[in-house]
Amino acid sequence: MVNMVIEYFLTTRSIYGGVHMGSVIAILGAGTGLGVSLARRFGREGYDVALVGRRAERLEAIAAELAGEGIRATPFPADLATPAVIPGLISHIEETLGLIDVLVYGPISGHQGFTPAKDVTTSDLQELIPLLLMSPVAAVRAVLPNMVARGSGTVLLTQGSFAAHPLPYLSGPAPVMAAARNYFHSLNGEVLESGVFAGVLSIGASIAGSEMAELAQAAAPELSESQGGVDPADLADVAWQMHSNQAPLESVIFGPPAPAAESTTTATE
């Protein structure tokens, strides 16, 4: 019986180096808006947090801020626009913190400005595909075998709602994000029975405190102030509930406050 318990522990909670650090969330695209709010929300539940992004200094600042709140967060600088680095990145995180229980993918690129569909070129799409489609697939492939073997885990895609609800003149990144959304929807139907949840958090509003919101505020202060933004802490709560309940397959959030009135969900079929 003791041997069975030991074997289960070793196979379900990787112990690289002999020490298990607790449940782990990897946030790929950890910024000052949703990323840090996800770290806080899961950190309050005892998760160790892997912060992944391109700028090491920003990650270190976020980790220091979270440490002051009693949350264990470790920076892992990486260029997510290079899919080839993803397997090594995931291995490094798991060697440092233990097996990943929750993976959230949601980086934002400075090249993600909207373009009218009639003006989108194949070059535009080729530039966006690595970050918005190939890397999330690579990240899922890197964590999925261990999650399926353990019978638990969550992979969550966060992105703009235009992937699910296209509008005129707001193309460019949206078609590529729609392909990633399709992948996560299909994946959910294939792995949910094994205990692994794949979901999509689609956001149809500016995220207060995010780098993109700050840029918009600087460019058009009056417009930005009148529009406000959704509280990233509310989005992080939605992500936590999706992980905890393994449902819904997709949550679509439109606009700030009134969460019950302005949040819609798409149930798993």
pLDDT in tens, 32-47: 889 999 999 999 999 9
**pTM of the shown model:** 0.84
Q: Are 219 and 269 in contact (CB under 8 A)?
A: no
Q: Residue 68: its pLDDT value, please?
A: 97
CA dihedral over 177, 179, 183, 185, signed as positive or negative = positive
Residue 191 lies in a domain: yes
Q: Residue 220: its pLDDT value, please?
A: 43
Which is higher by pLDDT, 264 or 129? 129
pLDDT tens per residue, range 90-111: 999 999 999 999 999 999 765 5
Task: Please state, rounded to an integer, the average pLDDT across all residues of the chain.
Answer: 84
Residue 15 lies in a domain: no
Residue 215 lies in a domain: yes
Show the domain range for 238: 22-266
Residue 209's CB is within 10 A of a number of other CB atoms, namely: 17
Q: Could you tell me the CATH number of the domain that includes residue 197?
A: 3.40.50.720
Q: Where are the alpha helices (DSSP H) in the chain?
A: 2-12, 34-43, 56-67, 86-97, 122-129, 135-150, 173-191, 211-219, 221-227, 232-245, 259-262
Cα dist from 49 to 22, 71, 104, 125, whole Å: 10, 8, 11, 32
Beta bridge partner(s), residue 199: 156
Q: Are 37 and 253 in contact (CB under 8 A)?
A: no
Residue 14 lies in a domain: no
Number of independent structural domains in the chain: 1
Mean pLDDT score, 230-244: 96
pLDDT tens per residue, range 181-205: 999 999 999 999 999 999 999 998 7
